[in-house]
Amino acid sequence: MTTHRGRLSGEALVAHNLRIVRKAARLSQEDVAERMTRLGHKFHQTQVAKIERGARPIRYDEVIALAKALNVPLFNFMTEAVAGEGEPEFELQEAAFRVEAAEQEWRTAHDIEQAAKARLEEAEREYRAIAERLGVDLEEEPPFYPAPNSPWDPLRKEAGTDPSQE
């Protein structure tokens, strides 16, 4: 459906935005269907294709789920046509999705770092508590026992050595 000015509206607008945003995010129709299924809508790739072509009506709850599956604001998804592949803004949209993905990757790495730091601090507290209980003076340099096969392990085989040459 289009408005009197030839602009997209209704299901045609959602279908257009679905196709363009999906491609900009480098998602396949199957990817979108899987995301929809995870959101509680039993979707198949063919349903996504039919919606994009305007060959299948779309319910309002599906529009909401599609916006969520594509990680785009619902209001914009339903009211504003995004730039198509031939338009200059499309490249910017693709770059925005890459920025979003990189930010998510950074947040995940940061969360992993924070969890590792917490585990290290807990291990150090445990180490100090055990040393105190055993009466070990931690002011003295403790003996260093490298982990087996670590770079500091004196028994570690050098890379590229042939075990049969021993």
For 51-68, write each residue's pLDDT tens digit. 999 999 999 999 999 999
Domain boundaries, the chain: 10-82, 94-136
- For 32, the enclosing helix (H) or strand (E) is helix 29-38
Q: What is the pLDDT of residues 142-156, one digit of tens each?
A: 566 777 877 777 777
Which CATH code for domain 10-82? 1.10.260.40
Cut 0.85: pTM above it:
no
Stretch 89-103: mean pLDDT:
80
CA 12, CA 53: separation in Å to the nearest integer? 9
Bigger pLDDT: 133 or 160? 133
Lowest mean pLDDT among 38-52, 90-104, 123-137: 90-104
AA identity, residue 155: L
Distance CA 55, CA 105 (A): 36
